[in-house]
Amino acid sequence: MTEQRLLFVCLGNICRSPAAEGVFLHLLAREGLEQQFVVDSAGTGGWHVGNPADRRMRAAAERRGIHLPSRARQIETADLHRFDRILTMDDDNLRAVQALARGLDRQPHQPKVPMARIEPITRYCGRFQVRDVPDPYYGGEAGFEQVLDLLEDACFGLLQELRRG
């Protein structure tokens, strides 16, 4: 398998996308595939830059044996070229990243450089049929569990797809 570079994106980069990053890294470690991937996460907003993942998100992940190593950062245009795939958590994130990509497309005299494939992570769910990974930030504990249920399902499907090539 050639090296794959994946960026998970949500709004604040403190709940859903750090969880997606941690869940995917956990799967890679289990399968001994860490060397084949570069995995990162980012937010479309910049309010929490530099912060670790939300304490409630980290606690829910730790209960499943999953560590969330991320520090929040905001997505930047260079990410569209640094990564092979950008996996978004909801429609707002998808539109924001697509808008960033359209802005790049319109710049004159840009040499043609490859751009990441941008897609909703829920596309890779097998057990669940949902469009969005719901934002858990203003809700209760069940929301964080739901995020992890969806992301474990989606990340498993994503890894299977990438291994198939």
Residue 86 touching ligand 4NP (CB under 6 A): no
* Interaction residues for ligand 4NP, span 30-49 (CB under 6 A): 47
Cβ neighbours of residue 113 closer than 8 Å, sequence gap 6 or more = 81
Residue 12 touching ligand 4NP (CB under 6 A): yes
DSSP states of the chain as a string? Answer: ---EEEEEEESSSSSHHHHHHHHHHHHHHHHT-GGGEEEEEEESS-TTTTPBSPHHHHHHHHHTT-----B--B--TTHHHH-SEEEESSHHHHHHHHHHHHHHHHSTT-------EEEEGGGG-SS---S-----TTS-HHHHHHHHHHHHHHHHHHHHHHHH-
Residue 58 touching ligand 4NP (CB under 6 A): no
Catalytic position from the list 10, 15, 125, 155: 10
Is 92 an active-site residue?
no
Residue 137 touching ligand 4NP (CB under 6 A): yes
Residue 22 touching ligand 4NP (CB under 6 A): no
Is 10 an active-site residue?
yes
CB of 164 to ligand 4NP, least distance (A): 29
Candidates 7-15, 107-115, 119-127, 156-164: pick the segment binding ligand 4NP (CB under 6 A).
Answer: 7-15
Catalytic position from the list 54, 135, 153, 155: 135
Q: Which residues are catalytic?
A: 10, 16, 135
Interface ranges with ligand 4NP (CB under 6 A): 10-16, 47, 135, 137
